[in-house]
Amino acid sequence: MKFLIAGLGNIGAEYDSTRHNIGFDVADTFVLKHGGTFTLDRHAFVSEVKWKGKTFVVIKPTTYMNLSGKAVKYWMDKEKISMENMLVVVDEIALPVGTIRLRGGGSHAGHNGLKNIELVLTTDKYQRLRFGVGGDFPKGRQVEFVLGKWKPSEVPAVKEMILKSVDAIECFATQGIGKAMTEFNK
């Protein structure tokens, strides 16, 4: 059984360790845990890892956040991965830091990466893991906030939730989105 895990973010050193790149951070941690490495390929940094009889194609799109759908669609088609076996990991300002939410589909909630995936796939019926980055920013400063670095006080909770996100991905692959939602949406 094959899965596509798409950790969203932006390429470039200036985006490293920012809230908007949490998808990359989760993808990196998942791949590292399972002994893989990333290589640059078409539209993404890609790693293939195996765990419990399952193959995970993990991508970090190089298309920048707003064109994430291009990379997701390319790798779904290339690897012949069904929509049910695809999970997108993304930052979420509507959730507090230290919170994750798995969903089996639904609104892009204004997130440009999800909006583009929905546009390219022509559906919102795909699984996603929303990683809470908080919403503590003045009106009109959302872009600066999500492209900003974590506050030192947030780092321990972020590290803990990255590890929980890896567990959630494993649960999704072994037990399905329903069980993963029950287990991790607390």
* CATH domain 2-184 topology: Rossmann fold (3.40.50)
- Helix (H) or strand (E) holding 79, with range, is helix 68-79
Average pLDDT, the chain: 96
CB 113 within 8 A of CB 68: yes
| Average pLDDT, integer, range 155-159 | 97
pTM over 0.95: yes
Give residue limits of the domains in the chain. Answer: 2-184
pLDDT for 186 beyond 90? no
Residue 82 pLDDT grade (very low, low, confident, very high; cuts 50, 70, 90) = very high
Region 35-63: mean pLDDT is: 98
Task: Report the distance separating Cα 174 and Cα 109, nearest Å.
Answer: 28
| Dist CA 33 CA 52 (whole Å) | 13
**Which residues are catalytic, by number?**
20
* Whether residue 23 has pLDDT greater than 90: yes
Q: What is the band of 9 on the pLDDT scale with cuts at 50, 70, 90?
A: very high
